[in-house]
Amino acid sequence: MLKTAIEMDKAALILKLLGDKTRLTMVKILDKHDCCVCEFVEIFKASQPSISQHLRKLRDVGLVKEERRGQWIFYSINKTHEYYPFVLQLLEQLPDQGEKLKQLEESGSRITCC
Amino acid sequence: MLKTAIEMDKAALILKLLGDKTRLTMVKILDKHDCCVCEFVEIFKASQPSISQHLRKLRDVGLVKEERRGQWIFYSINKTHEYYPFVLQLLEQLPDQGEKLKQLEESGSRITCC
DNA sequence: TGCATATATAAGCATTTAATTATATACTGA
DNA sequence: TCAGTATATAATTAAATGCTTATATATGCA
């Protein structure tokens, strides 16, 4: 695996994106589980447009990708992103967010289509 | 050494601070060498107030500390900061910025008082 | 003491950001 | 085809950010 040199301005851009609690948590969750928009709406108790806009920013730099599954659009981490190793290394130091998904399941809000 | 649990909101706060090219580069440099304000002014070709304001933000969260040495105020990394290990691990992935200091020395602008 | 240098801080302003509200698009199932 | 659900996007607005200009404070030196 070739290690690409990190550039300061690109690193700063990524850190800026992750310097938001909602987006940071999203990425941490997505690193382990795909999620659809409405799940995030539930998890963060935020409005749908707000969640969509956060996801768009992550998608715009290519950190996450989207895929339609029936009625839903699922987001997942783009593990081929040039800076994914940089991001991963950071995520590994953050506390596991699996509990948030467990709560979703318990409340019957977890989407498990397809 | 006790490993402290990283909290998502504190991590996001730190990443937000580092999500600025000037501050990210400052911290990367400071991790290896103390620097005074006027050196940063030279390195970044920025105004003195602008540099002071960036340093203040870093100081406000305790990531860097200041120390007067004669006429100058030197900044250094606070390696006892609760989240320093988190930051360090990030810095280690960034390209070395030693060249910037070398250029300072060559231009005779490096401060080496005390 | 008085001037130059180094730094901090305050005020003002332009830009960016993140949320809300409103609306459009796409899919599902009756 | 129509209603309901999921999502994206545009427009608006409030708040946060980062810069500039202006000024104050502290040190060093003649």
What pLDDT is recorded for position B3?
65
Give B28's contacts in chain A (Cβ within 8 Å). Answer: 8
> Hey, which residues does B72 pair with through a beta bridge?
B69
DSSP string, A27-63: HHHHTTS-EEHHHHHHHHT--HHHHHHHHHHHHHTTS
Residue B4 has pLDDT above 90, yes or no: no
Residue B113 has pLDDT above 60, yes or no: no
Count residue pairs from A and B with Cβ separation < 8 A.
75
What pLDDT is recorded for position B111?
78
Residue of A nearest to B5 (CA): A95
- Chain A nearest-CA distance from B22, in A, is 9
The C-alpha atoms of residue B81 and residue A31 are separated, in whole angstroms, by 27
Distance B114 CA to D30 C1' (A): 22
CA distances from A74 to A67, A82, A113, A114 (A): 5, 21, 10, 11
Work out whether strand A72-77 and strand A35-36 pair parallel, antiparallel, or are unpaired: antiparallel
Residue B25 has pLDDT above 80, yes or no: yes
